[in-house]
Structure 1
């Protein structure tokens, strides 16, 4: 991939995030070259974790985007009891994906697609937020539910960058983490209608306290898809942004938690001490396209 030049008009606040993005890219290139397994933690808001196996990306998780579990269970694709049984059977040996396939709850191709979708939304969430530091931890534990065929890092960066650009170029861009939406009178009438559909499902979850991210978690849908649809609804006069005098810290989704099962704890980001020193000039950085963060989402 060709390098992305830094615009001369970019504000100073963009530079640290771009440097962190380049550090992320360098570490992914190093992981691929050295066939490393472990985790690459992006500390920031919302931040996230890239899981690696033999140099390939096998999962990406961020507090800003639904996980594979959320996409499967909250969407109704898999029942809560079915998920819990598969998790109990496969968690100790790290084969939850195989359990889901063996129990015919999902097909192998479908599982790969769901893992890819969750990883893409996770990378999108990381790229749209603030990135402070990247921590490469080789040899760490493998994620409990990974993409069976792995995910190509170059493609992931390209597609996540394309989606960031698409969201920021919309006529009325929304920050999926900060902007809380409320219904207009027209939107309330549409939500009360009898016609079912994805748009009505989203409208029914708009209550003045939830962001695109919160609604994506609640519905078990992709962060990008929900944000785009809410942006269209904003243009159509169905919803409007709730004015907020101060930034709302990113925590658990409003009215819901990401994890359906309480049998495992969420991954915790390391503290700020003992961070590795940035290493400039590592080979391969110009082969990866940096993500461009959304300024008002920081």
Structure 2
């Protein structure tokens, strides 16, 4: 079966599941991918946007690359998983956990909410297709939940497919990052996309995308043409009708004010060094002193301290 026009992949999957079909559903476009069905249930999924089970196992060092290649290429039909367990490379629980994770991860990208051209090949199988089965309805609900979680983390989708660059200056004085987030910042070089970073690190594509959106919301990574999160304008004050409610702690770091609009005294108070263009000459000391009024109480305390040392 081949679709001559773009359709929703999720709708086609529902139709195939209702007919208890067995085969491979190929979804074209970006990012695209393949869903494998067995009796109407999803047995495996793969997408260019996320590492497959083999890449996750070999990147983590759990299975040597040559062992994986030998087992997958030398096993017909869907018995590669059973071979890995029989040879002692994985336990059955480890295998199922890895395959399920890769299946849900790839299905998120294959079942995109935008129409795409699809093609169904009856009888198509995958070497890991005999490990587990997932109800398409359950898979669809999980995809919806993950998409909502992404939007809650950061509504902008610029980091989903464009090369990611870390910011040169932190937007806040202090930061707290998880080990996974720090690893993403280190490997974001302005050339790699989210999918390429996930494949490089051997991490799930969706988890990588979620953490990158959180980093984008905090103003720590960006892409070309994206100015990052913009602070919302405060609402006008109205008549008070009850006790004041303490403001909630902001989850997204606000962008600092432009250096041109901040005085030398502001910067000193916030512990920030004054900025100037590279190679520019420093202003004369007299000019710098003339721009600020002396702190008389501070000078008096310094004078008193010097007198006490005599």
* TM-score, length of structure 1 as denominator length: 0.64
Alignment match, 1:104: 88
Of 195, 198, 204 in structure 1, the residue corresponding to residue 180 of structure 2 is 198
Unaligned runs of 5+ in 1: 1-15, 188-194, 245-298
Alignment match, 1:22: 11
Alignment match, 1:155: 138
Displacement of 1:186 in angstroms is 4.4
Q: Is the contact between residue 45 and residue 106 of structure 2 (CA under 8 Å) also seen in structure 1?
A: yes
2:35 paired with 1:50: yes
Displacement of 1:172 in angstroms is 4.3
Alignment match, 1:37: 22
Q: Is the contact between residue 97 and residue 145 of structure 1 (CA under 8 Å) also seen in structure 2?
A: yes
User: Aligned partners of 1:28 and 1:40: how far apart in 2?
Assistant: 11
Of 158, 165, 168 in structure 1, the residue corresponding to residue 151 of structure 2 is 168
2:228 paired with 1:239: no
Q: How does 1:92-241 map to 2 (within 5 A)?
A: 92=76, 94-128=78-112, 130-140=114-124, 142-146=125-129, 148-175=131-158, 177-186=160-169, 197-241=179-223
Secondary structure, counterpart of 2:129 in structure 1: coil
Deviations 1:97-141 (A, max 9, x none): 11211222221122112111111111111233643233222223x
User: Aligned partners of 1:230 and 1:46: how far apart in 2?
Assistant: 18
Deviations 1:149-170 (A, max 9, x none): 3122211111011111221333
Displacement of 1:206 in angstroms is 0.7
Q: Which is bigger in relative contact order (C-alpha 8 A, separation at least 6)?
A: 1
Unaligned runs of 5+ in 2: 171-176, 227-310
Displacement of 1:19 in angstroms is 4.2
Displacement of 1:52 in angstroms is 1.5
Q: Is the contact between residue 180 and residue 208 of structure 1 (CA under 8 Å) also seen in structure 2?
A: yes
User: Aligned partners of 2:8 and 2:67: how far apart in 1?
Assistant: 43
Q: How does 1:270-281 map to 2 (within 5 A)?
A: none
Displacement of 1:94 in angstroms is 4.0
Q: 1:106 to 1:131 in 2, by over 3 A?
A: farther
- The alignment of Structure 1 onto Structure 2 pairs a total of residues equal to 216
Secondary structure, counterpart of 1:84 in structure 2: helix
Deviations 1:209-259 (A, max 9, x none): 112111111111111111111122223332112339xxxxxxxxxxxxxxx
Deviations 1:56-101 (A, max 9, x none): 211011122221111111233322233234335x424642111211
Secondary structure, counterpart of 1:221 in structure 2: coil
Q: Is the contact between residue 17 and residue 39 of structure 2 (CA under 8 Å) also seen in structure 1?
A: no
Of 37, 46, 50 in structure 2, the residue corresponding to residue 61 of structure 1 is 46
Of 74, 83, 87 in structure 1, the residue corresponding to residue 68 of structure 2 is 83
Report the RMSD for the aligned CA atoms in angstroms: 2.6
